[in-house]
Structure 1
Amino acid sequence: MKKFVKKISLFLLIFSINSLINLSSANQRIVIAGGSLTEIVFALGAGDEVVGVDKTSSYPEKVKQLPQIGYWKLLNIEGVLSLKPTLFITLNDVEPDNVIEKVSESKVDVLALQRVPGTIELLYENIGKIASKLNKQKEGELLINRIKTNLADIQTKIATHPQKTKVLSLMSMSGTNSVAGKNTTIDALIAIAGGENLAKHNSFKSYTAESIIAINPEVIILNKYSIDQLGGLDKIATIPGITETAAFKNNRITIIDDSYLFGIGPRVDEAAKLLFQSFYPE
């Protein structure tokens, strides 16, 4: 009888501890700096616990109605703390440099995650860490498996196209053509989707009309913000040099949503599928 009582007592103790852990997790007030991290939290089913985000967080739609804490490279520390977070999920290279330290000193739990390199492996790692912190391990595994399955399907299709499509990604701002090179999210997405980024420089660089004509991409990627800056789709031809490219002449201009470009996130398979279809149309 005593053994039975001990077993029951142990069971109730474990049950109580688990209940407290789950209750603690369910009552989180999460503030996030990093659009891809915000998407992960929502994809794990913890979106209702998010009380503030940075300006790069624009997906899902309901995120746009949350209080903002500034751009991830210029965060408002007071803005973060004013939201009374219990958990601050952030990229580890946010600025100003003392943000993470100051938030931690205010007795807020901080989960700082790597932003680079922008790889699928890092995405899986970050999903795992966030899922563990939020007690959403099962959801994390399901999310990772979904992405892996969808990307494997795309890789199988890429294998049937040994000749890679030549791609250039432009961001048009105030009349300047900024081209995305290595160590950018769109460069990683181009590679995942089976294309070849013709820009070999690091980060972003302005190209002249002559440079765009000389490089002559088969596909040009523009983001929606650039289209807005130009004044609409019908203004694409005003980008200096673009009308002389094979991409323009063959009507192979791909428009990608800006929310895909703030880091490799849980919709990477969706973005890769969109790009693959534009690189290798049936």
Structure 2
Amino acid sequence: MNLRQGRMTLSDRIGLLATLILLALGLATSKVSADVSAGRIVALGGSVTEIVFALGEEHRLVARDTTSSFPPAALGLPDVGYIRALSPEGVLSAQPDLIISEEGAGPPDAVELLKSAQIPFIEMPQARTAPQIADKINAVGTALGVPDKAARLAEKVVTELQSTAQEIAASDQPRPRVLFLLSTQGGRLMASGTDTSADAIIALAGGENAVDTFEGYKSVTAEAIATAAPDVILMMDRSGNHASSDAELFAMPALRTTPAAQEKAVVRMNGLLLLGFGPRTAQAVRELHNALYSAG
């Protein structure tokens, strides 16, 4: 089945879903555990897919989600949709014997249906620190039945990240105030507060989150941004409806009086590299650090 083409009626979807669930149940009966024997794996979440490739186990992947865009070879795999808006029939049509997912896959009813198909569905722990990244890598390695390879990769990644972070922390440069904007669509600014991946990567890169009055991602007012007084705007490098040029960005009333607007200081980075907290996190920290201190 081509996962990217065609529209089905509701009855078609129900029929296909029932068939695929029966197929999945049949596959599950011949499987004892989700380990090295799993040869048809669906990866949900860009960092999970990166880890599978970094472990040299990519030959076992049969599909990935939309966020799994690195390495470039991953784009050759069938796309089962966005991790937070999964289609159960799309995932099951890949005939997996193991699903490895980042935390937060959804919607909940889709995930429950996948789990009811008796295919092992393993969620990786969230990561924002070096030890947590190691935990995630080791968890993927355990799920794949290659714990020794995972331990070596985890040690390498943690060593690189700790070395980079220590070098940055030892710098006597002033810490720029950074406003991470998740979205500016329709003029509505969605920013990162504390306890987010954006907050964590900003700190590792030697910046200071300009917004510390709330947790998570929320819409912010012009008054809140004025109080935050960011020196730099940080965004994911996007295209389509979520994209905005620098001129459009700093023409927004909420931003045009900020120090960042006065210096035209904006940093755009690939979202998976910036927020994935996977094997390339040390690279992300270094690139962000350099960009923050050269913005404007």
Q: Secondary structure at the match of 1:71?
A: coil
**Structure 2 matches for 1:1-282, cutoff 5 A?**
25=36, 28-115=39-126, 118-154=128-164, 155-161=166-172, 163-170=174-181, 171-200=183-212, 201-225=214-238, 229-260=242-273, 263-281=276-294
What's the counterpart of residue 26 of structure 2? none
Gaps of 5+ in 2: 1-34
| Mapped partners of 2:44, 2:92: distance in 1 | 13
Q: Secondary structure at the match of 1:118?
A: coil
Q: Structure 1 residues 201-210 or 266-275, which shifts more?
A: 201-210
Return closer, same or farther for 1:211/1:205 CA change in 2, 3 Å cut-off: same
TM superposition shift of 1:169: 0.7
State the aligned residue count: 258
| Mapped partners of 1:79, 1:252: distance in 2 | 42
Mapped contact 1:118–1:183 kept (Cα < 8 A): no
Return closer, same or farther for 1:85/1:128 CA change in 2, 3 Å cut-off: same
| Mapped partners of 1:261, 1:54: distance in 2 | 18
TM superposition shift of 1:207: 2.3
Give per-residue Cα distances to partners, 1:35-54, cap 9 Å, x unaligned.
22111111212223211122
| Mapped partners of 1:239, 1:30: distance in 2 | 45
Return closer, same or farther for 1:96/1:80 CA change in 2, 3 Å cut-off: same
TM superposition shift of 1:270: 1.3
Q: Which has the higher strand share?
A: 1
Mapped contact 1:131–1:140 kept (Cα < 8 A): yes
Q: Secondary structure at the match of 1:103?
A: helix
TM superposition shift of 1:71: 2.3
| Mapped partners of 1:124, 1:215: distance in 2 | 33
Return closer, same or farther for 1:262/1:32 CA change in 2, 3 Å cut-off: farther
Gaps of 5+ in 1: 1-23
Return closer, same or farther for 1:97/1:231 CA change in 2, 3 Å cut-off: closer
Give per-residue Cα distances to partners, 1:237-276, cap 9 Å, x unaligned.
2333333222232343111112235542221111111111
Q: Which amino acid aligns with 1:199?
A: V
| Mapped partners of 1:168, 1:197: distance in 2 | 6
Q: Structure 1 residues 98-107 or 269-278, which shifts more?
A: 98-107
Mapped contact 2:45–2:83 kept (Cα < 8 A): yes
Q: Structure 1 residues 227-236 or 41-50, which shifts more?
A: 227-236
Ranges of 4+ aligned residues in structure 1 off by more than 6 Å: none
| Mapped partners of 2:246, 2:76: distance in 1 | 27
Give per-residue Cα distances to partners, 1:154-205, cap 9 Å, x unaligned.
2223212274321111132222111111232211111221211011211122
TM superposition shift of 1:153: 2.7
CA RMSD of aligned residues (A): 2.7
Mapped contact 2:256–2:262 kept (Cα < 8 A): yes
Mapped contact 2:101–2:122 kept (Cα < 8 A): yes
Q: Which has the larger radius of gyration?
A: 1
TM-score, normalised to structure 2, is 0.76
TM-score, normalised to structure 1, is 0.80
Q: Secondary structure at the match of 2:101?
A: strand
TM superposition shift of 1:107: 4.1
Return closer, same or farther for 1:259/1:181 CA change in 2, 3 Å cut-off: same
Q: Which amino acid aligns with 1:71?
A: Y
Give per-residue Cα distances to partners, 1:2-25, cap 9 Å, x unaligned.
xxxxxxxxxxxxxxxxxxxxxx84
